[in-house]
Structure 1
Amino acid sequence: MTDPLLVDLSRLQFALTAMYHFLFVPLTLGLSILVAMMETVYVMTRRKVWRDMTKFWGLLFGINFALGVATGLTMEFQFGMNWAYYSHYVGDVFGAPLAIEGLMAFFLEATFVGLFFFGWDKLSALAHCVVTWLMALGTNFSALWILIANGWMQNPVGSAFNPDTMRMEVTDFAAVLLNPVAQAKFVHTVSAGYVCGAVFVLGVSALYILRGRHLELAKRSFAIAAAFGLASALSVVVLGDESGYAITDHQKMKLAAMEAMWHTEPAPAAFTAVGIPDLESRTTRYALHIPYAMGLIGTRSLTTEIPGITELVAHAKDRIRNGLVAYAALERIKADRNDAQARADFARTQADLGYAQLLKPLIGDPRTATDADIDRAAWSTVPHVPSIFFTFRAMVACGFLLIALFGAALWHTAREAEAPRWLFKAALLALPLPWIAIEFGWFVAEFGRQPWIIEGVLPTALATSELGIPSLLITIAGFTLVYGVLAVIEVRLMLRAIAKGPETLAEDPAALFPGQTVNGTGARLAAAE
């Protein structure tokens, strides 16, 4: 049996590195599109201020992109180091989109990033603009493949367990690519990244406006961020609703935990706006309900029920018992690969094999399970309800605050009137909100599917490597130290670039890359502008 502390430390290490990495990813996604939009306006108008905007925000994009790549590498190594059995069990499926993402990031994306920074004096304005858009698209496609891999973990379609190899194998790669959970997660995550980029541009622009610096650049940046941010924030709400609809079919327990819905309610179910989930009584105290809302969001109907936690646990017990038949049949196949009856029994019940494996952390051999063991295993399918419940609502609150901010910013910029100072101060104070919302969203998505590392297929407790606890503690401390240093470097570089501002960029095209000379064509272009 795996030591629970080893599992918890492995999860903690991956959570720390993943959530740290995702501090950089959403800003990269958002800034890449905004920079491409700004350069498009420059190519269309040939106004120098838009070129300066592209270079200034592009510099901040580049700093953030470098840290995102550096921290992302660590995560991929962890699959083979901390999660060796997971890699063995599902590597044939999970490895394909991960490999494609690596090619996308390190060849396509990195190539165009290099051309963006070093091609100003080598490419025509139109060609450089095309490069910038390809850089932005490469960044987004890189995210697509990661989310296809993650979406498969949430909804493992297009694959099947092979009792001869004892591994999951791809049966339909198109189904893996077109997985509805993966597609919903992609558009929702990318839109959240756009919001993050917009808030960053809005906040830095507001700082310049409050200090009376770089006003021409700051006001234009503020306006484009307000419009882009409002459209993105509204799309996050719509696409988040689509994600909720997707998990109704594929992750019912996660949805029930998000709503602290302990028992199935008559359709259409109400949405619990606020409340305090009580684990002991298995009720939600002081609940304030919005009638019909959850039923409409989760099922798109007025007649379809959303199952509650208690009913889902009862269903899990049935699946565990059915899975025990598959587990016993698999053991017989191991002993005799020509046992036709065992293969027939396994084929009939293999969909529930993962549920039988929930017993392994409890008793070792699932075939010896008692009713009490099955009951414990069934209740282990319930994630920590209060954590999911409150985190989800905090994420939603951040989202609606950002919609209000973008709406106010767009209203004042569209009127072409001087915006009040409180709006710019609000934009500065709102800078942390998209990161808070995004990290909370990932917490709900990943912690909410526990105890599964692959939904319904492989429990997290069985997926780890046989590492020693001291090794994990040392590496967690090491990652914390190294990432802490990188965080300081990132923030200082960002603050230094923001404090310096775009003035030197406007005066000298080579200022973006100190030490590099500008050829004659570039110098003449700068003089002409």
Structure 2
Amino acid sequence: MIIDTDVVTLSRLQFALTALYHFLFVPLTLGLVWMLAIMESVYVMTGREVWKRMVQFWGVLFGINFAMGVATGVTMEFQFGMNWAYYSHYVGDVFGAPLAIEGMMAFFLEATLVGVFFMGWDRISRIKHLLVTWFLALGTSLSALWILIANAWMQHPVGAAFNPQTMRMEVTSFSEVFFNPVAQDKFVHTVSAGYVMGAMFVLSISAWYLLRGRNVDFAKRSMTVAASFGLAAALSVVVLGDASGYTVSLNQKMKMASIEAMWHTEPAPASFTLFGIPDVQQRKTHFAVKIPWVMGLIGTHSIDETMPGIAELVDAAKGRIGNGIQAYDAMLMLRQDKDNVQAKATLAAHDQDLGYALLLKKYVDDPRQATPADIQKAADSTIPNVPVLFWAFRIMVGCGFYFIALFAFSFWKASTRQLDTQRWYLRLALWSLPLPWVAIELGWIVAEYGRQPWAIEGVLPTALGVSSVSAGQVLTSLGGFVLFYTALAIVDVMLMRKFIRKGPDGLGIWPSSSSPSPLAGEGEELAAHSRQSAQ
């Protein structure tokens, strides 16, 4: 079985594009809904109409984003049947359950609560509507939890075993799948990043209103909530990201070594390369600027444990490929005689390395006939794209520390009631709007691209998971997805731009401001609002 690399490449490209596009909406939904819950809680506790109107306006933008997230998420699941049929067959027993639960969360729980959120303002009491909003916030997080459990199993497969008779991975302990440590770390890190995105969205759009002297009191209150919530979230992302990095170093050592471009094992504790130019051909990093101890502390949480380098991990992979070949041979014998005691013992001893033998399928039909050169190629293929991971990780981390600084400064300005006194700050807050998307997309690239060449880490190579289709068929579906998603992108940008430009005043949610100055007019707006409330 020599694999058609064009089909694999196109299938990977299609899933990557649709996943990255879908992930433009998911984190904003995760973050924005909690902002709504906080604002509505203040409304219920104080009874002040201003907070209700804030929830209603930001809720409109949340609704647009939620709809786009659902539309782009549905098509992703179709691809498991279209492009990844063998993957679905091989691990569907494990992967299907959390994916199905996530679907029910998204399409039944969330969709119902979204409808009640928008239609229930005048139909149910304040307390009941607040509960709906909080349950909606909880539901979005639970939806993310289940998809991240499924994804974490791809990174660190636990609670499952290979059945040579069915040729599938089958669940042995659902609790192990659910409580997968990688899943727990990925969940809290991902949702915290979503909270940062939601806070930045509110902060940036509010800054835009202040720059134009519109909805001044509305914008100030929104920015205050965003600054407080965003600072807590940004700090959480860094702390929880450290925990996530630690689990990566335990379970995906090649990914961690590639992120650091650590070509060879260093004495403990390893240094962190702040800057450098990774050279894949020479397997070295040029112009490296290193910070002593930092990588060792991140990766091992100690000062005396070593982190293996890429070269040493390749050597280890060669050994695992050899063990995997024995497991592969035993598997074929069990297919012929399921009671073969010797084959059972051999497979039990080396089943954790069976996936490494499958890496050889890219180079030879029968792994048992692999030459030393084939084994070397397969071992080298376990190295992901080092420069991409190296820079994606550093840009992501840089953005994370920038968010802490920006939200801390915003919190100070909100505390001293100076949010609208410096236009450069408002412009900075506005121009920072795209950065959470940049950081989150790069984080997703680090997580998924860094897992290559595995669809399931150490179990199923990506190249074996594809459907039996031609490159032309995949190219056709890829073109269809590009057209469909481009159309959705245009619609999304138009709708968001339309409603943001209208603003709460243009939508009739907020009184129109009578002052053109961004640094004045709050008194007039409050007075107008008070008159309207009195009426």
Larger displacement relative to structure 2 (179-188 or 337-346): 337-346
2:13 aligns with 12
> 1:419: how far off?
3.4
1:405 aligns with 406
- 1:419 partner SS: coil
Number of aligned pairs?
A: 512
2:516 aligns with none
| Counterpart Cα distance in 1 of 2:166 and 2:110 | 36
1:377 aligns with 378
2:524 aligns with none
2:487 aligns with 485
- 1:157 partner SS: coil
> 1:506: how far off?
3.7
2:431 aligns with 429
- 2:122 partner SS: coil
1:505 aligns with 509
- 1:322 partner SS: helix
- For the pair 1:255 / 2:256, whether they are aligned, the reply is yes
1:39·1:51 contact (CA, 8 Å) conserved in 2?
A: yes
- 2:363 partner SS: helix
- For the pair 1:86 / 2:87, whether they are aligned, the reply is yes
2:288 aligns with 287
1:412·1:419 contact (CA, 8 Å) conserved in 2?
A: no
2:99 aligns with 98
**What are the within-5 Å matches in structure 2 for residues 348-363 of structure 1?**
348-363=349-364
| Counterpart Cα distance in 2 of 1:279 and 1:464 | 27
1:518 aligns with none
Larger displacement relative to structure 2 (330-339 or 385-394): 330-339
Q: Which runs of 5+ in 1 are unaligned?
A: 509-525
> 1:528: how far off?
6.6
- 2:509 partner SS: helix
> 1:197: how far off?
0.6
1:187·1:239 contact (CA, 8 Å) conserved in 2?
A: yes
- 1:75 partner SS: helix
> 1:340: how far off?
1.9
Larger displacement relative to structure 2 (455-464 or 401-410): 401-410
1:162·1:168 contact (CA, 8 Å) conserved in 2?
A: yes
Q: Letter of the aligned partner of 1:433 in structure 2?
A: L
1:270·1:289 contact (CA, 8 Å) conserved in 2?
A: yes
> 1:130: how far off?
0.6
1:515 aligns with none
> 1:507: how far off?
6.6
Q: Which runs of 5+ in 2 are unaligned?
A: 513-531
Larger displacement relative to structure 2 (490-499 or 7-16): 490-499
Larger displacement relative to structure 2 (149-158 or 335-344): 335-344
| Counterpart Cα distance in 2 of 1:164 and 1:485 | 46
- 2:151 partner SS: helix
Q: Letter of the aligned partner of 1:102 in structure 2?
A: G
| Counterpart Cα distance in 1 of 2:323 and 2:177 | 26
| Counterpart Cα distance in 2 of 1:49 and 1:490 | 27
Larger displacement relative to structure 2 (452-461 or 404-413): 404-413
| Counterpart Cα distance in 1 of 2:28 and 2:226 | 13
2:215·2:510 contact (CA, 8 Å) conserved in 1?
A: no
| Counterpart Cα distance in 2 of 1:122 and 1:528 | 23
**What are the within-5 Å matches in structure 2 for residues 103-502 of structure 1?**
103-417=104-418, 418-502=420-504
| Counterpart Cα distance in 1 of 2:371 and 2:478 | 38
2:326·2:347 contact (CA, 8 Å) conserved in 1?
A: yes
| Counterpart Cα distance in 2 of 1:88 and 1:35 | 41
2:114·2:136 contact (CA, 8 Å) conserved in 1?
A: yes
Q: Letter of the aligned partner of 1:425 in structure 2?
A: R
CA distances 1:121-174 after superposition (whole Å, capped 9, x unpaired): 101111101100001110111000000000000000000001111110001110
| Counterpart Cα distance in 2 of 1:342 and 1:246 | 34
Identity across aligned pairs (percent)?
A: 62
| Counterpart Cα distance in 2 of 1:283 and 1:235 | 34
> 1:337: how far off?
2.0
CA distances 1:155-212 after superposition (whole Å, capped 9, x unpaired): 0000000111111000111010010101100000000000001111000000000000
1:156·1:455 contact (CA, 8 Å) conserved in 2?
A: yes
Alignment TM-score, normalising by the size of structure 2: 0.94
> 1:242: how far off?
0.5
> 1:338: how far off?
2.4
| Counterpart Cα distance in 1 of 2:170 and 2:180 | 16
CA distances 1:395-414 after superposition (whole Å, capped 9, x unpaired): 11111222221111111111
The higher-RCO structure (CA 8 Å, 6+ apart) is: 2
1:413·1:419 contact (CA, 8 Å) conserved in 2?
A: no
